Structure 1
Amino acid sequence: MTPADIQLVEASFRLVAPIAEPAAAIFYEKLFALDPTLRPMFAHGDMHEQGRKLMQALGFVVGNLRAPEKLLPVVADLGRRHAGYGVQAGHYGTVGAALLATLREGLGPHFTPEVAAAWEAAYALLSAVMLDSAAPAQAA
């Protein structure tokens, strides 16, 4: 990610943070529309709490994009935990698509092509770290 990408992600997330609860609901609505087979992974959880955790995780990520030494170990651990929940490599593309669709809806005209590209770069980095860390967990 470039410094400009980081700045765009930070600035756009400041617009999302005040609408965190509805943004999380939109995210899961889009995720399950894209892949209904993911819904059972959340069947025993409180979706309100899950949405809160999602937004908290996004806030942590955005807040630490300038500190990869702090961010990347946490993201790697997240990848290992998600492997334990049954998340497969193919799910990452679906999650990324749901995230971008949520941002597009939530940010409206502020979701410019530059903002979209910055979020794509951020998600590509994070998902790569998560997938790399999940691989040993899935092989075990």
Structure 2
Amino acid sequence: MPITLSNQELALIEQAFTMARSEELFAQPTLFYEKLFERDPNLRALFREDIAGQGMRFMRTLRTIVTALRQLGGAQEVLEPLARTHGALGVHAQHFETMGEALIDTFKELLGPDFTPEMEAAWRKAYREIADAMIEAGKID
């Protein structure tokens, strides 16, 4: 399943990610997981105790995905192994919606009003396409 984002959407995604990195996204690696567990405390059981380390891996993976979105087929190459890993860890299709909302919450907290409605819409579209591709590639139920 190809990712179908316009150049404008890609620019907004990259801009928001760059801004979030400058706002200490990598210095707050647990923020995404705090938002995730606020939305669904039951998801905590899927993760090891080292949430800070997991958070750093998540941020590196997110950076890799953002970079790969501009490369033809690049996102698929990143997403397929990631999808298999998520499926093996017990992630289900319904968890992706919660993860997407936690990601949006993270951007909103880090960037405040600088996270524009256009950026949010671009991230929501990208996340939905990424999640759908992962669910399909990982045969996640």
Q: Common fold, TM-score beyond 0.5?
A: yes
**2:46 equivalent to 1:35:** no
User: CA shift at 1:71, angstroms?
Assistant: 1.7
Between structures 1 and 2, the one with greater helix share:
1
Q: Which consecutive unaligned segments of at least 5 residues does structure 2 have?
A: none
Question: In 2, distance between residues paired with 1:94 and 1:24?
Answer: 18
Q: 1:4 corresponds to which residue?
A: 8
Residue in structure 1 matching 2:51, options 32, 47, 52: 47
Q: 1:21 corresponds to which residue?
A: 26
Aligned length: 136
Q: 2:114 corresponds to which residue?
A: 110
Question: In 2, distance between residues paired with 1:22 and 1:106?
Answer: 11
SS of residue in 2 equivalent to 1:20: coil
1:89/1:131 contact within 8 Å kept: yes
TM-score normalized by the length of structure 1: 0.91
User: CA shift at 1:128, angstroms?
Assistant: 0.8
1:23/1:102 contact within 8 Å kept: no
Percent sequence identity is: 36
TM-score normalized by the length of structure 2: 0.90
Question: In 2, distance between residues paired with 1:48 and 1:21?
Answer: 10
Question: In 1, distance between residues paired with 2:94 and 2:65?
Answer: 22
Question: In 1, distance between residues paired with 2:112 and 2:101?
Answer: 16
The superposition leaves residues 93-113 of structure 1 with CA deviations (integer Å, 9 ceiling, x where unpaired) of 000000001111111111111
Question: In 2, distance between residues paired with 1:112 and 1:74?
Answer: 27
